[in-house]
Chains A and B, each alone.
Chain A
Amino acid sequence: MLLIPCPYCGPRSEEEFSYGNEAHVPRPKEPEKLNDAEWAEFVFIRSNVKGVFLERWVHSHGCRRWFNVARDTVSYEILAVYETGAKPPKLEMRRAV
């Protein structure tokens, strides 16, 4: 079970949060110009990283604010928490096979 440090409320149990999957997936600037393959990429395809993953969480049963988390999806260690819109911190983006 994760103890997630909400940047606004402090550490809380994972049950208080909802998940937003991968962070930094840019919304298309000119949606009308996207072809089907680009739409598929935006809507369905995520990196699903085994290793350090940048992801979005929302504190649904708390402050209800979104934020980003850098988490190792193998050890489940939370390496950094940062605001939506901010650049990810410098981390070693390790990958496992």
Chain B
Amino acid sequence: MMPRYSIFSLLRNALSYHEDWPEAWRSPEPKPSYEVVIVGGGGHGLATAYYLAKEHGITDVAVIERGWLGGGNTGRNTTIVRSNYLWDESAALYEFALKIWEGLSQELNYNVMFSQRGVLNLAHNQHDLRELSRRINANRLNDVDSEFLTPAQVKRMVPLIDLRAGGRYPVLGATLQRRGGTGRHDALAWGYARGADARGVDIIQECAVDGFRIQNGRVAGVETAKGFIGADKVAIAVAGHSSVMASLAGFRLPVTSVPLQALVSEPVKPAIDTVIMSNAVHAYISQSDRGEFVIGAGADKYVGYGQRGSLPVSEETLTAVCELFPCLRRMRMMRQWGGIVDICPDASPIIGKTPVDGLYINCGWGTGGFKSTPGSGWVYAHTIAKDEPHELNAPFSLDRFRTGYLINEQGAAAVAH
């Protein structure tokens, strides 16, 4: 039985100097085989395990993670959560995820610190203005909250922003999704891990998958650092390493892997209480609860698996941030890092079947899959349990690149956080 976290358990454990908290999940040795093996212990893999157990009663499941839980993009992202995507298929999927976010801390009995502080997208020129107005209308048609802010309204929400005329990046307006905001990245992974573990899922860390056993076109299990593990079904959720997994299983993906960067500043008093994104100039900024400015930068333009990212990319972002927020010019950046994101040609994910029977893939979330983690796990679990996609993820098949039914969410700067 999983002990519930509450004000009372907090008080009780305070008496023992917080030294007796039970571990949040077990660390078992892998069994010889499972009904479902999930490769990758990021948010998507863990959420999938949780919903397999909770929604479909499938508890004979292992999540196999090469490093530590959330050590991939889940623990490296700038945590922006929103659902104001352009196309109907995306709006439906991301809005579904956002609705789960709204009740997630309660459901998991784990504080994922979802903070609906609003997300602004700035327009810097006439084209941006028209593009964003179109987006607002599309969002409203899909029941996604979205509104337009004039420059004066932007200034009221974000007093630090420089709106004096003549800047390099004039602000002509912005969209605002009030229900958007930020979440706590590793809490999302840990909350799902704890919930899945309590339902019987084995979480196996520090165990890389380095091959698949395939018999007569059907998957039979995975080769790992801890030996062969049999499985009726195998579900891949490894983000930047999706092509590597696919090639081990004998098929190819339309994915490009590149490092995406972020930085945080030294902590200061609260100064920005919302999220400001500028797709055109590649800058995203919010302030963490610790007071650091969290800044999302761009992606490298060439294939790379080095988790650092190229210097010109972060320079470009910081230049834009200094233009928009001149008062931040003297801030020191404390940390910079990169995560390997898997980008599809249409900047939309792939969630569904592969050419190998019993082998499923969830990838292509690229620069913006943190927000979708709950929805992605939910539809992926459905796809694995029923061996067919849910109507929410059916459009996001691998086959769309053959049929030509792409879902193009490529933003102005070819990134969509």
Chain A residues with Cβ under 8 A from B333's Cβ?
Answer: none
B210, B252, B306: which contacts A97 (Cβ < 8 A)? B210
**A96 near B301 (CB under 8 angstroms)?**
no
Q: How far is the CA of A18 from the CA of B401 in the complex (A)?
A: 25
B108-116, B124-132, B254-262 - interface stretch: B254-262
CB distance from A78 to the nearest CB of B (A): 11
A24-32, A45-53, A86-94 - interface stretch: A45-53
Q: Is B304 an interface residue (CB 8 A)?
A: yes
**A36 near B404 (CB under 8 angstroms)?**
yes
Q: Is A80 an interface residue (CB 8 A)?
A: no
Q: How far is the CA of A2 from the CA of B311 in the complex (A)?
A: 10
A1-B311, A73-B304, A96-B305 are known contacts. Are A48 and B256 too (CB-CB below 8 A)? yes
A1, A43, A50: which contacts B257 (Cβ < 8 A)? A50
**A55 near B303 (CB under 8 angstroms)?**
yes
Q: B257, B303, B403: which has the most chain A beta carbons within 10 Å?
A: B303
CB distance from B338 to the nearest CB of A (A): 12
Q: Is A19 an interface residue (CB 8 A)?
A: yes
Q: Is B253 an interface residue (CB 8 A)?
A: yes
Q: How far is the CA of A20 from the CA of B402 in the complex (A)?
A: 22
**B305 near A50 (CB under 8 angstroms)?**
yes
Chain A residues with Cβ under 8 A from B312's Cβ?
Answer: 1, 13-15
**A1 near B310 (CB under 8 angstroms)?**
yes
Within 8 A of A (CB), among B43-59: none
Q: How far is the CA of A73 from the CA of B300 in the complex (A)?
A: 12
Return the CB mask of B248-280 against A: 1 if under 8 Å, else 0.
Answer: 100011111100000000000000000000000
**A44 near B303 (CB under 8 angstroms)?**
no
CB distance from B303 to the nearest CB of A (A): 5
**A45 near B252 (CB under 8 angstroms)?**
yes
**B306 near A44 (CB under 8 angstroms)?**
no
A44-B254, A97-B208 are known contacts. Are A36 and B304 too (CB-CB below 8 A)? no
Chain B, Cβ-Cβ closest to A76: B306
Q: Is B78 an interface residue (CB 8 A)?
A: no
**B402 near A49 (CB under 8 angstroms)?**
no
Q: Is B373 an interface residue (CB 8 A)?
A: no
Q: Is B241 an interface residue (CB 8 A)?
A: yes
**B253 near A53 (CB under 8 angstroms)?**
no
B248, B302, B404: which contacts A19 (Cβ < 8 A)? B302
Return the CB mask of B24-62 against A: 1 if under 8 Å, else 0.
Answer: 000000000000000000000000000000000000000
A15-B312, A40-B401 are known contacts. Are A45 and B254 too (CB-CB below 8 A)? yes
Q: How far is the CA of A47 from the CA of B257 in the complex (A)?
A: 10
**B401 near A45 (CB under 8 angstroms)?**
yes
Q: Is B100 an interface residue (CB 8 A)?
A: no
Q: A13, A36, A53, A73: which has the most chain B beta carbons within 10 Å?
A: A73
Q: B208, B345, B401: which has the most chain A beta carbons within 10 Å?
A: B401
**A46 near B311 (CB under 8 angstroms)?**
no
Within 8 A of B (CB), among A1-24: 1-2, 13-15, 18-19, 21
**A45 near B310 (CB under 8 angstroms)?**
no
Return the CB mask of B216-252 against A: 1 if under 8 Å, else 0.
Answer: 0000000000000000000000000101100110001
Within 8 A of A (CB), among B390-410: 401-404
CB distance from A21 to the nearest CB of B (A): 7
**A50 near B241 (CB under 8 angstroms)?**
yes
**B248 near A49 (CB under 8 angstroms)?**
no
**A74 near B303 (CB under 8 angstroms)?**
no
A18-B301, A75-B306 are known contacts. Are A48 and B255 too (CB-CB below 8 A)? yes
A/B interface sample: 5 pairs, CB < 8 A: A45-B401, A47-B243, A48-B253, A73-B304, A75-B306
Given contacts A1-B310, A50-B244, 5 further A-B contacts (CB under 8 A): A15-B312, A19-B301, A47-B243, A55-B302, A73-B305
Question: Using a CB–CB distance below 8 Å, which chain B residues touch chain A?
Answer: 208, 210, 241, 243-244, 247-248, 252-257, 301-306, 310-312, 345, 401-404
Question: Using a CB–CB distance below 8 Å, which chain A residues touch chain B?
Answer: 1-2, 13-15, 18-19, 21, 36-37, 39-41, 43-50, 53, 55, 73-76, 96-97
Nearest 3 CB-CB pairings of A with B = A44-B254, A48-B243, A40-B401
